[in-house]
Structure formats: structure tokens, C-alpha cells
């Protein structure tokens, strides 16, 4: 079968960029991205492509090429579902905040709502593709709902997990290491798989398109993220050991990364990983393992999260300890709030937790991030509900200018590895800070020797 019309439910960090790239690469397919959030859809349709709601290098160019041609953004979910041959589900699947599995299991409420809506609206056969990260066996739920509508419409369910990383989404989508498609292994299932393979094959070499059964595909997504996060926690665990010995974590990372079995990527010690996927996916894996009674498996993976929480707390404690055990009333300047560079996404960013810990000690936090809007910083802190939002607004100030953010500060903390931080006029920053002027480099991006020459006291991670 040839797909002519695609609908994607959810215009977020995954749905938006993924569909923009499919539309760019497949001009013959009409792609409609729908979302319940009207403001979000309006922003995707903004005349000024720089105002689309997701910041990703290269994305606005892709959107301006395809939008209006074969890429559309709409709030009319029913119509888009009904017209489509293939429907991607790309809605959020946050960790549950209530009931059984609270704090660990994924909340599938939104996925189920989507499935019910698809079941209610569809008048012709469709291929439904899981794009959001989902716990293993979610396809079962989708099937149960979609295959019992009683109206004769047939659905095939595929799993096609997204491996794009934020900040490099467009590049990752244009040149993926692999595309993974899971589906039923019977004849109808294989046809559905083939339909999706044919879409990706328009720009991805065939040998990079892997097909599996649905369950392997679902589990591979959680496993990939768990392995990546584990590497960060492993290097971070050793960074603490380095700080107590004379080893340097950057040298250790380089030395082990040259072993081809280990490889050089994802070995950067940091203040801790963030993002919407790593923690959520591991918690999910832990929850699934526990639900099968696999205690050792669950404990093993849970340690990755425990280590990450420790790293964030340790960073905050180091700031407090170095500033003579009190930060009460002291200004600490944060450079960076996003969970990594080149994105405006702040979900689970280490900056939020480090700030929270310092605020608990009555510090004043000044924040500068090149892409994160002021309101987002307050929203992130208020979401933790550690203190009232009045208190958060009193203790935290967000700046549009990094030099203003650092002015009169006792310390500067680097929370995100934005390239521009390396090229600041650090002499000017030094001149306007209180002395001794401290820098806590949570990303090991600054030139230590140069800054020490200016007079800074530098505290990197892992040396």
C-alpha cells in the first residue's frame, strides 16, 4: 500500500520536527500535524518561522520549505485522523503523578484518549504508529481499543520509536544511525511495516531500516536510553572519585574512550543528565521489571537515577561548602537553564534541581540562558512545589544579558554547555563580581588556566 496522507497527533519536540522532515523528504505525501493546544498550533503556523515553538538548529528552514506545500498544522484532530492512511501518535507520556506506579510508571492517559478518538472517528482502514516512548506492551492496549470498535474498520499497529536527540533533531532525522520499525509478523502486519519502510527509504539507506516484532521495538527504545544514561552516570560516579584523588575525569574519559569496545561518545562528566527521556524511560524500565518481580534487574537500573540525583545534589553542596558553608543572601549566577545546549527545552534540567537546593539555603539565583524564556524558569521551579511562587520570584531573577546576570555575584555556575559561554569577556565578568570570584563549571567547558590567570577560583567536575 502507498501512503498518501499522514496525520500526526501531538505537535511537540518529537512530532513537530519528525513530521517536518518527513514532509520535506516526501513531497508527495500530505502531512498534517494536529494538537489540542491552540497556542502551540498557532505558533507552528506563525508567519515568522523563527517563532515556531521548538528551537532546533535548521528546523525553521525545513518548516519554511514544506509548510503550506505538504506540511500543515491544525487543531482539527478529527478531520486529520479521518483523512489519513497512517496516523502517528506523538503525544506526551509523562511519569505518573498519582495512584499506582506514581513517580515511576508512564501515564498512558493521553495515549489511550488518542486511541479512543481514532477508534471513534475512523471510517477507513489505517496504520497507527506509536512514536512516543511507551512502556513495553502498550501496543497491546492500542490493539484492544482499536480492534473492538465493531464498525469493520481495520487497524495495524506499528512501533517506530524516535531516537532523535534535541539540539541535533534535524540532523538526526536526515541521517539517522538507524530507523526501527516493529509490527505484527503476519501478512497484514508485514504489509504495514513495508508501507512505513517505503516512506523512510526515500532518504534513509535500506540497510539502516531495521524491522522487528512490536515488543522488541518497544523495548529497544527504553534500552537505548537506559544504556546512554548509564554511561553518563558511570562517568559521573568516577568524577567524584577523581575529585578525591589526583586523577582527572577528562583524561580518564579520553583514555577509556579509545577502546573501540567502549567508544568515545557520551563520556562527558557533567552536573547530571536531564531531558524528558532518560529519567522517565529508566523509571519505566524499573517499574516494568518490578511488576514482573525482577528485583535485581530493577535495582540495577534504578541505581542510574540514584547516581544522577546524587550528582546534582553534590554540585549544589560543593557550591555551598566552597562559599564558606553559607549562601544565605549571596547571589549565584547561573549560566544556562536548558538541559543541554542548542535547545530551549528545560524538562528535568539539572539546573532546576541545583537551583532548588541553593534556594533552600536562601541563596539568590540569577539566571541567564540564551534560549529559555523568563517565565519558563519560574514555571519549572513552581512545578517542584518546594516553596510558594512568590518566594521563587523573590529569590530568582532572570536576565537577558549574561554580564548583568554575573554582576555582583559571589559565584558563577555553568549549568548548560552553550558554546557562547566560552567566548565571553571573562575579565569583564571578573571585574564586576565579588571577590574571591568563584566559577563552578558543571560542564567542564571553560579554559581553566586562562580563567585562573584572571584571578578566578575554578571548580570543575572531576578534577
Q: Which of residues 30, 60, 250, 270 is near ligand UDX by CB under 6 A?
A: 270
Q: Which of residues 126, 330, 331, 340 is near ligand UDX by CB under 6 A?
A: 340
Please report which helix (H) or strand (E) contains residue 235, including its range. helix 214-244
- C-alpha 53/C-alpha 357 separation (Å) is 30
Binding segment for ligand UDX (CB under 6 A), chosen from 87-95, 103-111, 160-168, 289-297, is 160-168
Residue 179 site contact among ligand UDX, ligand ADP, none (CB < 5 to 8 Å, cut-off depends on kind): none
Q: Which of 227, 226, 244, 242 has its CA nearest to residue 283?
A: 226
Q: Is 56 an interacting residue with respect to ligand ADP (CB under 6 A)?
A: no
Contact by Cβ (8 Å): 222, 162: no
The residue with its CB nearest to ligand ADP is: 12
- C-alpha 196/C-alpha 156 separation (Å) is 11
Q: What are phi and psi of 390, to 5 degrees?
A: -60, -45
Residue 380 site contact among ligand UDX, ligand ADP, none (CB < 5 to 8 Å, cut-off depends on kind): none
- Assign 3-state DSSP to the chain and report helix, strand, coil percentages, each to 5: 45, 15, 40
Q: What are phi and psi of 335, to 5 degrees?
A: -100, 110
Q: Which of residues 32, 90, 217, 279 is near ligand ADP by CB under 6 A?
A: 90
Report in angstroms how near the CB of residue 147 gets to ligand ADP at its nearest: 20
Please report which helix (H) or strand (E) contains residue 460, including its range. strand 457-460
Binding segment for ligand ADP (CB under 6 A), chosen from 86-94, 144-152, 230-238, 242-250, is 86-94
Residue 56 site contact among ligand ADP, ligand UDX, none (CB < 5 to 8 Å, cut-off depends on kind): none
Q: Which of residues 114, 209, 267, 319 is near ligand ADP by CB under 6 A?
A: 114
Q: Which of residues 6, 7, 8, 11 is near ligand ADP by CB under 6 A?
A: 11
Which listed residue (277, 302, 331, 417) is catalytic? Answer: 277
C-alpha grid cell, residue 31: 502531512
Q: Is 91 an interacting residue with respect to ligand ADP (CB under 6 A)?
A: yes
- What does each C-alpha distance from 14 to 6, 162, 310, 448 come to in angstroms? 15, 7, 29, 37
The residue with its CB nearest to ligand UDX is: 275
Which listed residue (56, 114, 130, 162) is catalytic? Answer: 162
Q: Which of residues 55, 110, 278, 440 is near ligand UDX by CB under 6 A?
A: 278
Q: Is 96 an interacting residue with respect to ligand UDX (CB under 6 A)?
A: no
Q: Is 17 an interacting residue with respect to ligand UDX (CB under 6 A)?
A: no
> How many chain residues interact with ligand UDX (CB under 6 A)?
19
- C-alpha 355/C-alpha 366 separation (Å) is 10
Q: How far is CA 46 from the centre of its chain?
A: 24
Residue 278 site contact among ligand UDX, ligand ADP, none (CB < 5 to 8 Å, cut-off depends on kind): ligand UDX
Q: Which of residues 95, 122, 220, 225 is near ligand UDX by CB under 6 A?
A: 225
Q: Is 101 an interacting residue with respect to ligand UDX (CB under 6 A)?
A: no
Q: Where are the beta strands (DSSP E) in 312-437?
A: 331-335, 364-368, 396-398, 411-414
- Which DSSP category does 341 fall into? T
Q: Which of 83, 154, 88 has its CA nearest to residue 125?
A: 154
- Concerning whether 277 is annotated as a catalytic residue, the answer is yes
C-alpha grid cell, residue 256: 577509556
Q: Which of 194, 178, 197 has its CA nearest to residue 186?
A: 194
- C-alpha 458/C-alpha 79 separation (Å) is 58
- C-alpha 408/C-alpha 222 separation (Å) is 44
Within 166-195, the residues that bind ligand UDX by CB under 6 A are 166
Report in angstroms how near the CB of residue 389 gets to ligand UDX at its nearest: 25
Report in angstroms how near the CB of residue 278 gets to ligand UDX at its nearest: 6
Report in angstroms how near the CB of residue 427 gets to ligand UDX at its nearest: 28
- C-alpha 117/C-alpha 111 separation (Å) is 10
Residue 13 site contact among ligand ADP, ligand UDX, none (CB < 5 to 8 Å, cut-off depends on kind): ligand ADP
C-alpha grid cell, residue 443: 560542564
- Concerning whether 162 is annotated as a catalytic residue, the answer is yes
Residues that bind ligand ADP (CB under 6 A): 9-15, 34-37, 40, 77, 90-92, 110, 113-114, 132, 276
Residues known to be catalytic: 162, 221, 277
Amino acid at each position: 500500500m502507498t501512503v498518501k496522507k499522514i496525520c500526526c497527533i501531538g505537535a511537540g519536540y518529537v512530532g513537530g520536527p519528525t513530521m517536518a522532515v518527513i514532509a520535506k523528504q516526501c513531497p508527495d505525501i500530505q502531512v498534517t500535524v494536529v494538537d489540542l493546544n491552540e497556542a502551540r498550533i498557532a505558533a507552528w503556523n506563525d508567519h515568522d518561522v523563527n517563532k515556531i515553538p521548538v528551537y532546533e538548529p535548521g528546523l525553521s528552514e525545513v518548516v519554511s520549505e514544506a509548510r503550506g506545500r505538504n506540511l500543515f498544522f491544525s487543531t482539527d484532530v478529527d478531520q486529520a485522523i479521518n483523512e489519513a492512511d497512517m496516523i502517528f501518535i506523538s503525544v506526551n507520556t509523562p511519569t505518573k503523578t498519582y495512584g499506582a506506579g506514581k513517580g515511576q510508571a508512564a501515564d498512558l492517559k493521553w495515549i489511550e484518549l488518542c486511541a479512543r478518538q481514532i477508534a471513534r472517528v475512523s471510517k477507513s482502514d489505517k496504520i497507527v504508529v506509536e512514536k512516543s516512548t511507551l512502556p513495553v506492551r502498550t501496543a497491546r492496549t492500542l490493539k484492544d481499543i482499536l480492534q473492538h470498535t465493531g464498525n469493520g474498520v481495520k487497524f495495524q499497529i506499528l512501533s517506530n520509536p524516535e531516537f532523535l536527540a534535541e539540539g541535533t533533531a534535524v540532523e538526526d532525522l536526515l541521517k539517522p544511525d538507524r530507523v526501527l520499525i516493529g509490527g505484527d509478523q503476519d501478512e497484514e502486519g508485514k504489509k504495514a511495516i513495508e508501507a512505513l519502510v517505503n516512506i523512510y527509504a526515500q532518504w534513509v539507506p535500506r540497510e539502516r531500516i531495521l524491522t522487528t516484532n512490536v515488543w522488541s521495538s518497544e523495548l529497544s527504545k527504553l534500552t537505548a536510553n537506559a544504556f546512554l544514561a548509564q554511561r553518563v552516570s558511570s562517568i559521573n560516579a568516577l568524577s567524584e572519585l577523581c575529585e578525591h584523588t589526583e586523577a582527572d575525569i577528562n583524561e580518564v574519559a579520553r583514555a577509556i574512550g579509545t577502546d573501540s569496545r567502549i567508544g568515545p561518545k557520551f563520556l562527558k562528566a557533567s552536573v547530571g543528565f536531564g531531558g524528558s527521556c532518560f529519567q522517565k524511560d529508566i523509571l519505566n524500565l524499573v517499574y516494568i521489571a518490578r511488576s514482573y518481580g525482577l528485583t535485581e534487574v530493577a535495582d540495577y537500573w534504578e541505581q542510574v537515577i540514584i547516581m544522577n540525583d546524587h550528582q546534582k545534589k553534590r554540585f549544589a553542596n560543593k557550591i555551598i561548602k566552597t562559599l564558606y558553608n553559607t549562601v544565605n543572601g549571596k547571589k549565584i549566577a547561573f549560566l544556562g537553564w536548558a538541559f543541554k545546549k542548542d535547545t530551549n527545552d528545560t524538562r528535568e534540567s539539572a539546573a532546576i534541581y541545583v537551583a532548588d537546593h541553593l534556594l533552600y539555603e536562601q541563596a539568590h539565583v540569577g539566571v541567564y540562558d540564551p534560549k529559555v524564556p523568563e517565565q519558563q524558569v519560574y514555571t519549572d521551579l513552581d512545578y517542584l512545589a518546594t516553596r510558594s511562587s512568590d518566594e521563587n520570584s523573590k529569590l530568582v531573577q532572570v536576565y537577558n544579558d549574561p554580564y548583568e546576570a554575573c554582576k555582583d555575584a559571589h559565584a558563577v555556575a555553568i549549568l548548560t554547555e552553550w558554546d557562547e559561554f566560552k567566548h565571553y569577556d571573562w575579565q569583564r565578568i571578573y571585574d564586576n563580581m565579588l571577590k574571591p570570584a568563584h566559577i563552578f563549571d558543571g560542564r567542564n567547558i571553560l579554559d581553566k588556566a586562562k580563567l585562573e590567570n584572571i584571578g578566578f577560583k575554578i571548580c570543575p567536575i572531576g578534577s
